[in-house]
Structure 1
Amino acid sequence: MTPPLDIVILGLSLSSSWGNGHATTFRALLKGLREEGHRVLFLERDVPWYSGPNRDLPEPDFCEFDLYDDLGGMLAAHRARLRAADAVIVGSYVPDGIELIDRLAAMRPRQLCFYDIDTPVTLAALDAGREDYVAARQLPLFDIYLSFSGGEVLDHLERERGVRRAEALYCSVDPTAYESDPAAAKRWDLGYLGTYSDDRQPTLEALLLEPARRRPDLGFVVAGPMYPDTIDWPPNVERIDHLPPPATRASTTRNASR
């Protein structure tokens, strides 16, 4: 059995699943770490769009949790923990991520890791000269680069990007939150859950909206925020702007095929 570890994660969000898939992954991962006996502190930047009614898990009971407003103040408050932790993990899309990584590296934690839940987006941005939350020069700083994409991309990260060690850490899900109830009433024939994205929309058009137009006798649903008003939704496609994880189990049951 692995000895208990002390881990600090600085991620995009744990407390709010609104408009991001990071919270779902982090919640499942941290619950699993707790069950294995590990200690985790999650630090999250307090931003307006994840606050108020969009914060669907304000007090997680499976880890230590702290919101922060100021990067410098957070690092000062948690300096001892960050330096003593077995691993410090920075997630993709963390606000002021480049500055955060530089300042953490200067603190020389035992292990500094990066968890990229957006690997294709990250690499495409770096190829285009954009450095939104991690800089190309920073990739060799990490002891381990954890990628939600596996396969050849891991070799690419080490061979072409200067990463010391690339490992797959696929997105995870809490089975207790998504287990369906076969006895529940079924409402839709096909559904999709995801935030709007330009690169995903053609696939959604081909695999859900076009079938909905061809089969008006069936019911469809698309759940997720940030879809533009310009989309021509077929009448038999129901829209749900946001479906928080606590409501997902009942909805996925209703989404099951008839």
Structure 2
Amino acid sequence: MEKKLKIAFFGSSLVSAYWNGAATYYRGIIKEISRLGHDVTFYEPDAYERQQHRDIPNPEWATVVVYENNEESAFWALSQAESADVVIKASGVGVFDELLEEQVLKRRKENQLVIFWDVDAPATLERMDQNPDDPFWPLVPQYDMILTYGGGDPVVNAYTANGAKLCVPIYNALDPETHFQVAPDDRFSCDLAFLGNRLPDREARVEEFFLKAAKQSPEQSFEIGGSGWGDKHMPSNVEYIGHVYTNDHNAFNCTPKAVLNISRDSMAKMGFSPATRVFEAAGAGACIITDYWLGIDFFFEPGKEILVAQNGDEVADILKNLSQEDAKAIGQAAKKRVLALHTYANRAKEVQKLFAAHFQEINAGEI
């Protein structure tokens, strides 16, 4: 007999993608976990103006609890979550991360499954390696399991070496009900578009793969969306369009001849960490050009379902030789691949199997 689990999830935000690249990942995973019969409450702080820039209302498939950005409210949220069967602390909440990571363990109840879900494992591991006194070091072995946004064997091996009982990558994927092909929108008409917030460990790669390619391709048009790029010097053929709300992502992906994926430094170095937007763009039938990272062929077939560049020069060359017909064929091949193998429904089943194995092991019932 299946057991319905009560799940408490501490993350950055479920309802806002503003300065919150993990939003669609959370939404896709949690919606499908809910469809498997489980009850999810998502706890998020009122921080970084995310509540003023909501993309979605509170969803039917999860209860959203927004707590104030202070320590007292964080402790209140922790007390509300104590009765859950499963307590999940995600990385990068943005405020009181160390407190939450410690307290979900200190407050653990008998037979309660406590998980750390790392949505930026390469960066977390790099931070820990650089600081032997990092407060997360002694906590790693105390979690029942570490789930990650990606990273493959390099991340699994690193977490295991740091004492993790179990580490499993739960990769980004597609929610076909949210990201799909739509009619082109003139606002996003260009040859190459890139969407991503301006972050310290991404900016140099954006300069190399996007701005350098634009400078070398004066006859081509480029668009960049995301927060923080307003004062960045760019070539004249690049248009900055600001924050792109999630309800415009489909049109943003469908309209340009191609869209560019640029990994953050740490994810590119670790590999096996495709960004959420890769699957979203593929679901919309976009022709994706990506920077190179180890493990691309685990998700897509280079040359047929995705185009791969080692640097900005190669991005410019690809774009110069890419016809509209070829771009459409590559986009449709990518769409077919993700619908078959890389949806959040697939990922949620993987998560449920992990839950089931844990509770069976402690004889607390079966899912």
Relative distance call for 1:205 and 1:143 in structure 2 (3 A) is: same
1:222 counterpart letter in structure 2: I
SS of residue paired to 1:145 = strand
- C-alpha RMSD of matched pairs (Å): 2.4
1:17-166 alignment, distance < 5 Å = 17-52=17-52, 54-69=53-68, 70-73=70-73, 75-76=75-76, 79=79, 82-94=81-93, 95-109=95-109, 110-129=112-131, 135-148=136-149, 149-159=151-161, 161-166=162-167
Q: Match of 1:225, SS? A: coil
> Structure 2: how far apart are the matches of 1:130 and 1:250?
46
Alpha-carbon distance between aligned partners in 2 of 1:118 and 1:194, rounded to the nearest angstrom: 15
Contact 2:82 2:108 in 1 (8 A): yes
Unaligned runs of 5+ in 1: none
What amino acid does structure 1 have at the position aligned with 2:118? D
Shift of 1:228: 6.2
Q: Normalising by structure 1, what TM-score?
A: 0.87
Give the match for residue 222 of structure 2: 220
Please, what TM-score do these two structures have when normalized by structure 2? 0.63
Query: C-alpha offsets along residues 110-141 of structure 1, whole Å, 9 cap, x if unaligned?
Result: 01111111111111111222888x62121112
Aligned partner of 1:243 in structure 2 is 244
In the TM superposition, residue 105 of structure 1 has moved relative to its aligned partner by: 1.4
Deviations 1:132-174 (A, max 9, x none): 8x62121112101111222222022112x11111111123342
Moved more, 207-216 or 171-180: 171-180
Cα 1:77–1:236, aligned 2, differ >3 Å: closer, same or farther?
Answer: closer
**2:307 alignment counterpart:** none
Return the offset for 1:15.
1.9
C-alpha distance in 2, partners of 1:91/1:251? 28
User: Alignment partner of 1:216: what SS?
Assistant: coil
Count of residues in correspondence between the two structures = 253
CA drift at 1:219: 1.6
Q: Alignment identity in percent?
A: 28
